Amino acid sequence: MRKFVVAGNWKMNTTAKSGKKLVKEVLKKAKPGKVKVVFGAPATHLQQTQALLKGHKGFFAAAQNVHHEQSGAYTGEISVDMVKDIDVKYVIIGHSERRQYQKENNTVLLAKTKLSIDNKRKVIFCCGESLSIREKGTHFQYVVRQLTATIFKLSPKEFKQIVIAYEPIWAIGTGKTASPEQAQDMHFAIRAAVRKKMGDKLADNVSILYGGSVKPANALEIFKQPDVDGGLIGGASLKAEDFVAIIQAAKKQSKADRINVAHFTANL
Ligand code: 13P
């Protein structure tokens, strides 16, 4: 069955010093059990983060981005080889901030994803709609289209390396979380689309994380939803105490009996 994952995305925050303190505090206090914990550190202290996590089972570092070419004249970019070289297992791809500010389109995102998987990295692939799309009511189609144009083009073997993160843009950094029902409805739709494209086994096994203003106060309610398998956490991952509380909420829920509603309903 699929794994619970709690991933922090530090974005353009922390220094080597504050990042180190944060990781150490989380390592000291978190008892994640079977929940995987991921730290999306900035490139300048990714190696340090990886080194701090070495030997801590279930804790991983993630790059926030990689370039879609193997190497070359791309000033300021980091390659999958560089990430692999420092033994960082995860890469975050497709975050709405990169889609918006770096104009990353589906073609580029698919190339990045493929190159990462070819190089044995796991990909946290982000998707999610803007407020105007949500208000129009076309959010399910929009998100499924994002996936159809990208990770649904992978082979089933490649797809195994994917963790999906649903992050409604209107909930990122706004303090406005999707309600547990809104999250569940979208996660259900995503899993149903994966089932149609990739089959039962991959649909049942893919972890789908929710991201967007997850805090200690709302994490458990969101994680209780049957198709929510953890979170991608921005602001709250910068405070050790908050991040630990979210990890513990995931642990609590990971132990609860989870009825596979999506599978059940899909077979009715
Ligand atoms: P916040 O948790 O700060 O809303 O950010 C979510 C996010 O974008 C994680 O990638």
**Beta carbon of 38 within 6 Å of any ligand 1 atom:** no
Integer Cα distance of 36 and 7 in angstroms: 8
Look at ligand 1, atom 7, and give the residue with the nearest C-alpha: 234
- Percent helix, percent strand, percent coil in the chain, to nearest 5: 50, 15, 35
Q: What is the pLDDT of residue 176?
A: 85
pLDDT at 268 over 80: no
User: Per residue in 183-205, pLDDT tens?
Assistant: 999 999 999 999 999 999 999 99
Residues 1, 10, 99: CA angle, nearest 5 degrees: 85
Distance of CA 142 to the CA centre of its chain: 18
Look at ligand 1, atom 5, and give the residue with the nearest C-alpha: 234
pLDDT at 262 over 90: no
User: Per residue in 116-131, pLDDT tens?
Assistant: 999 999 999 999 999 9
User: Per residue in 144-160, pLDDT tens?
Assistant: 999 999 999 999 999 99
**Domains, the chain, with CATH or none:** 5-254 (3.20.20.70)
Which positions are catalytic?
A: 95, 167
User: Per residue in 15-65, pLDDT tens?
Assistant: 999 999 999 999 999 999 999 999 999 999 999 999 999 999 999 999 999
Percent of the chain with pLDDT over 90: 92
pLDDT at 240 over 50: yes
Q: State the DSSP H helix or E strand holding residue 86, giving kind and residue range, or none if neither.
A: none
Phi then psi for 236, rounded to 5 degrees? -70, -15
Tokens of 151: 């990770």
pLDDT at 257 over 90: no
- pTM of the predicted protein model: 0.95
Q: Ligand 1 centre and the CA of 133: distance in Å?
A: 19
Integer Cα distance of 211 and 127 in angstroms: 10
Q: What is the pLDDT of residue 147?
A: 98
**Beta carbon of 230 within 6 Å of any ligand 1 atom:** no
Amino acid identity at 154: L
Q: What is the pLDDT of residue 261?
A: 53
Integer Cα distance of 40 and 237 in angstroms: 9
* Of residues 115, 105, 53, 127, the one with CA closest to residue 78: 115
- Over its C-alpha atoms, the chain yields an Rg (Å, rounded) of 17
**Beta carbon of 214 within 6 Å of any ligand 1 atom:** yes
Residues 130, 133, 139: CA angle, nearest 5 degrees: 95
Q: What is the pLDDT of residue 1?
A: 81
Integer Cα distance of 227 and 117 in angstroms: 24
**Beta carbon of 242 within 6 Å of any ligand 1 atom:** no
DSSP letters for 192-219: HHHHHHH-HHHHHH--EEEESS--HHHH
| CB 166 within 8 Å of CB 96 | no
| CB 134 within 8 Å of CB 170 | yes
Q: Ligand 1 centre and the CA of 5: distance in Å?
A: 15
Q: Ligand 1 centre and the CA of 211: distance in Å?
A: 6
